[in-house]
Amino acid sequence: MRLSDYKALTFDTYGTLIDWESGILAALRPLTDRVAQKLTRDQILQAHAHHESTAQAQTPAMPYSRLLAVVCKRLAEEWETPVTWDECLTYGQSVKNWPAFEDSASALQYLKQYYKLVVLSNIDNASFAHSNRKLQVDFDAVYTAEDIGSYKPAPRNFDYMIAQLGRRGIAKDQILHVAESMFHDHAPANAFGLANCWIYRRHEKQGFGATMNPGEMPRYGFRFDSMADLAQAHRAELASV
C-alpha cells in the first residue's frame, strides 16, 4: 500500500487541520475561569466531547454553531456555573477564531498537486468558510454535517461522501480518508472498508481529548504525527520510484 495509490484525500478538518482543542479551550475560558473547582485541560475537553457527541446524536440536523451553544449550556450546568444564552451563542460562533495547525496550509498546497482534496466535516458551512481561509487551499468538494443532516460517526455521512465522489468517477478504493479522530472517522472508515491515514496530532498527550474514546481501537493503513510528515512521506515515495 502506497500513498500514491489513491486519487482523493478526504479530510476530517477539526483536530486534523484546525487546532480545535486550543480553539475550544480559549473560547470557553470566560466560562471555565468562573468554575469553582479547578479543571484540567483534559477534564474540559473530555466533558466537551461527551456533550458534543450526545447533542450530535440527539439533534443531528442542528447546525454546528447552534449545537456548540447547547454544549456550552450543558457544560455550565455540569460545572454548576451560571451562563447566559448570549454567552452560549458567542461560544457557538467561536469556530471562526480556531487556529489552523502551522503545517496544514503548506501540506495541503503540496498535496493539491497530486490529489483531489475533499472535506468531510461535522461543521456548518458558514463556520467552515472561516476555517477554509486559514487553510489557504481550494478544496475540490466540501461535505458538511449541515449538508448531510447528520454528524459523524453516523454511516450516512460516509455513504453521502462515497456516493458523491462516485458520481465524479472516484471509486471507494481510490479514496484515502485522513483524520485524527478514532471515534468520528477511523471507526466508520473501517466499517466502510475505506483506506485510512491517522494524523496523530495528540501523540505527545494521553487520552482522546475532545473526541470520545472509540472503545476498541480502529485499524489504520498509515500513521503520521502531522500533515507535514504526510507530505514528506509522499515526497519520499515519489523520489523512490
| CATH number 1.10.150.750 given to 21-97 | yes
The CATH classification number of 3-19+99-240 equals 3.40.50.1000
d(CA 158, CA 155): 5
Q: Report the side by side order of strands in the sheet with 175-179.
A: 141-144, 116-121, 8-11, 175-179, 195-199, 222-224
Q: What is the pLDDT of residues 19-62, one digit of tens each?
A: 999 999 999 999 999 999 999 999 999 999 999 999 999 999 99
Instruction: Using pLDDT thresholds of 50, 70 and 90, give the confidence band for residue 183.
Output: very high
**pLDDT at site 241:** 75
Q: Helices 104-111 and 227-240 sit at what angle, rounded to 10 degrees? A: 30
**pTM of structure:** 0.96
Domain spans of the chain?
Answer: 3-19+99-240, 21-97
- The residue annotated as part of the active site, out of 5, 12, 33, 42, is 12
Residue 82: enclosing H or E segment and its boundaries?
Answer: none
Q: Is 185 a catalytic residue?
A: no
